[in-house]
Amino acid sequence: MTASPALTSRQQSRLRPPPLPEARGPLSAAVTDLLRGSAAGSALAAVPPLDACSPYGDDLQLALYVLYELHYQGFQDVPDSLEWDSGLLAHRAALENRFMGALRRDVPIDPAETAEQALDELQLEPVGDDGTGVSYFLRDEGGIEHLRAYAAARSLYHLKEADPHAWVLPRLHGRAKAAMVAVEFDEFGGGRAEEIHAQLFADLMADLGLDTTYGHYVDAAPAEALATVNLMSLFGLHRALRAALVGHFAAVEVTSSPGSRRLAEAMRRVDAGPAAVRFYTEHVTADAVHEQVVRHDVVGGLLEAEPHLDADVVFGIHATTYLEDRLSAALLSAWHEGRTGLRDTGTNAGDRQVFDADRPST
């Protein structure tokens, strides 16, 4: 039997849970205090009424993110048994209700709109390819510092790419399940560990001189970035929202190929490195194929079996667009003002965190 190759230090770092992030207010402080072993009553006593907290703000979004991470890689010195702690789950449910209530309010759905129509709208590229979103900015004028900040914010998802969507697999049937598994198989490297998309993103980060440790940039990530990741976990962990997760996945796949093409061009323009370019060129080709599979077989198969879920697919599509637009607006506003868009963590001088403090993991 051939011995398995030794794990690199970067791969070994993925086996270690990250430390708990710093709290951003009473909601997230209550959660992190509980996970550090504080008594539930004293920790929750400081929690203000949820209707007084911004559903999209740093405090609530970080609290949700931490609770969701218990279902992924967990945290250092936090017992795995707390994943299903009834008190934490009840607290998470209250936070989710606040988040979902805001999304239902801010993402109105036309009852006449179908999933097919919603996906068609996503494919409408600006005339002349002169859009104003993040990928256009990065392609046309972004510097290496913008690309590093963007990668740091996106690392919250991409270092566990496709994991949230895997929650939907037991909740699909027949054609939809088979097609979803086929797409996920590609996302997870087609059986090759070095080709797992999360690994490819870690390689991209190394080319950009960023720390590739899972969870390293949580403290620096703005609330808007946390919300985009939380949406996937929210949809994925609730069977009742399975169609919304399919809508989310379809929205990502439909928009990924053209956006990835622009980001690959941005990486080439600043000579970011071959792995940085490759992550996005891989998505240009793969996601163009995935788009058709997801539209016709995942969404189509789901709605063929359960046509009453069409509106939920539409909601998933529009909720995804809404939160992505909020993140895009926050980053572009910061970049136009000469900031990175990342939070000041207090230890790495905020906007310098992705410039001076980090070096690639080996």
Residue from 190, 332, 162, 200 nearest 277 by CA:
200
Distance CA 47, CA 44 (A): 5
What is the token pair recorded at 233?
Answer: 């976990």
Among 143, 115, 157, CA closest to 256: 157
Q: Where are the domains of the chain?
A: 9-106, 115-352
Instruction: Tokens for 176, please give them.
Output: 């939809």
Q: Is pLDDT above 60 for 348? A: no
Structure tokens at 4: 């398995």
**Given this model, what pLDDT does residue 288 score?**
74
Q: Could you tell me which of 103, 158, 168 has the C-alpha nearest to residue 280? A: 158
Decide if 76 contacts 19 (C-beta within 8 A).
yes
26-65: pLDDT as tens digits: 999 999 999 988 654 455 656 777 888 999 999 999 999 9
- With beta carbons less than 8 A apart as the criterion, state whether 20 and 65 touch: no
171-203: pLDDT as tens digits: 999 999 999 999 999 999 999 999 999 999 999
Domain 115-352 has CATH 3.40.1260.10: no
Q: Where are the beta strands (DSSP E) in the chain?
A: none
pLDDT at 360 > cutoff 50: no
Cβ count near 348 (within 10 Å): 17
Q: Cα-flanking dihedrals φ and ψ of residue 321, to 5°?
A: -60, -40
Find out whether 235 and 320 touch, Cβ atoms under 8 Å: no
pLDDT tier for residue 291 given thresholds of 50, 70 and 90: confident
CA-only gyration radius of the chain, Å: 20
177 contact partners, CB below 8 Å, separation of at least 6: 169, 301
